[in-house]
Amino acid sequence: KRIVALKVLSASLSKNQDFVRRFQREVETVARLGHPNIVMAYDAGILPSPGRGEASLHYLVMELVTGGDLEQYVYDHGILSIPQACEWIRQAASGLQEAHNNHLIHRDLKPSNLLRSVPRDSSDDALHSGAPSESKIKLVDFGLARQFCSTLTDPRMLLGSIEFMAPEQSIDPSAVGPPADIYGLGATLFWLLCGQTPYPIEQNLASVLRALQSEKPRRLRQFLPE
């Protein structure tokens, strides 16, 4: 009698063993991480296919986090104050440290993978009045996570969201370590404070990669002179 979030692997992807392995890895990863700043896993399994030729349903049951993600929060409410942004990133860093302590790299740190767990009696009005927020930040989506020494990732595969991706991850995704996650967390803090990404968002992937690998990121002072 608990309301939960149910994550399932699309039936169209269930026949692709690479996606199945990635989903199973996420299930195993979340199941072994018990931390207040990481979304909790309750159950997981496979529902057999109802007929010949149909895909089985792979599912992960997690706690339901109702406050939305931090990317949408900035779109809806605007940038955060420095104290509030730093507090939310501190919480995210605490969850990330738990993952690193378990020899796991998230590899996709970005505002949309940080969720707000909001107490029932709180509101965003208090947040914008300058009062401290009681929201708890929870890290989600370990679908790209890997162990420090894993060789599962193809060095040629570009995984993660490029606007928040560390430069070294764009060169060799299989070789990244904890610093790549810390970069993503810093880029997320940048977004929360000014609504921008360290590098300009462009449609052309080649241009984005070229800038990421050879140019300096924009400075926060450019958007917040104070």
Catalytic residue among 43, 69, 76, 108: 108
Q: Exposed, middle or buried by CB within 10 Å (0-12, 13-18, 19+), for 213?
A: exposed
For the range 175-179, what are the long-range contacts, defined as Cβ-Cβ under 8 Å and sequence gap of 24 or more? Answer: 176/105, 176/107, 177/105, 177/148, 178/100, 178/105
Q: Exposed, middle or buried by CB within 10 Å (0-12, 13-18, 19+), for 9?
A: buried
Active site residue 172: no
SS3 60: strand
Q: Which residues are catalytic?
A: 108
